[in-house]
Structure 1
Amino acid sequence: MRWLSQDLVLARLRLAIIASALVWVGLNLAKVPWLFVDTNIEVPAPTVVVDAVDTSPVTVDIDAMKAWHLFGEANASAAPAVVAAPAVGIEDGAKETRLDLVLVGVLAARSDGLGQAIIQYRQDQSIYRVGDALPVSGRVSLAKVLPDRVVLDNNGTYELLKLYDESALAKRLMSTAKPAVRQPTQAPNPAPTSDANEP
């Protein structure tokens, strides 16, 4: 303690502390300019050696690609499907069908039997052409269209589907055609006429 209490030692110790403080402050001040400098240097990605690409020209056969007709032919017109006319007289001897079908209407009925028919199955009505399959079970198709009925091909057996039920139509006509009963009418009494000779 005596040695530390001497003036010379204290002065040197004070000088050493001040010197170290100055060195520390100088080092910190030297770092300040580097705070404003971008020191993040991007390291380039490692290069990967790839095999050389084959640069030989590829030949494409354009004519062969045209022959594919990916989107159809430009000048080709779709040929309409030709439906053969139904056989004459297939409706003769055909019995009335028992299928759950109702003939609602007939469209464009012609003498050759190639018309359209509006047929109802359950709650759905659709238009069918000759040859179209009907929505019932089995192989049932429309075979012929006549003005007041159609012929169905039920698995090789011809059946009739009439536009209206004759018995129901007759009852409806009879109910609407009742003659009105006329009540006898009386002639009005002639008004009395005054005699010209009476005063």
Structure 2
Amino acid sequence: MFLVIQAVANLPWLESTQEDAATQAVATVAITPGASPQVLARRVANWHLFGQAQSTITTGHPPVAPETRLNLVLLGVIASPIQKNAVAIVAAGINAPDKSYAIGDRLPGGATVDEIYRDRVIIRYRGRVETLTLHRKKLSDKELSIK
């Protein structure tokens, strides 16, 4: 195991491109006899081999905006507190095929996706902020029952 970790630590793609030796990325680990795999995994994870992500986190409170009049149907969302991970599933009309959109994507009709929440999408259309709401079907007792 030590040889694998040492080999990874010495790969050229891990080295910093800066000239200063003090800023070069060097990964070393001392393997202590009897160290658990969990401890070793935590040490490797703390190296941040691929850097540390900087992400935008939403406050969870969507802005108040009027409902859009565009012919768009919000069919589903994959909401995330990290907006770059959120996805909206939108169709350009009731029977139109759906497509997935992320923050910044252009929707049919010319609007742009600004923010995605679990029950709505905030879009920007002609400089105005508008809401595209997810309309949920209320299920009957029969639809909810297990057969």
TM-score of the pair, normalised by structure 2:
0.49
Higher relative CO (CA 8 A, sep ≥ 6), structure 1 or 2? 2
Q: Structure 1 length as normaliser, TM-score? A: 0.37
Structure with the greater alpha carbon radius of gyration: 1
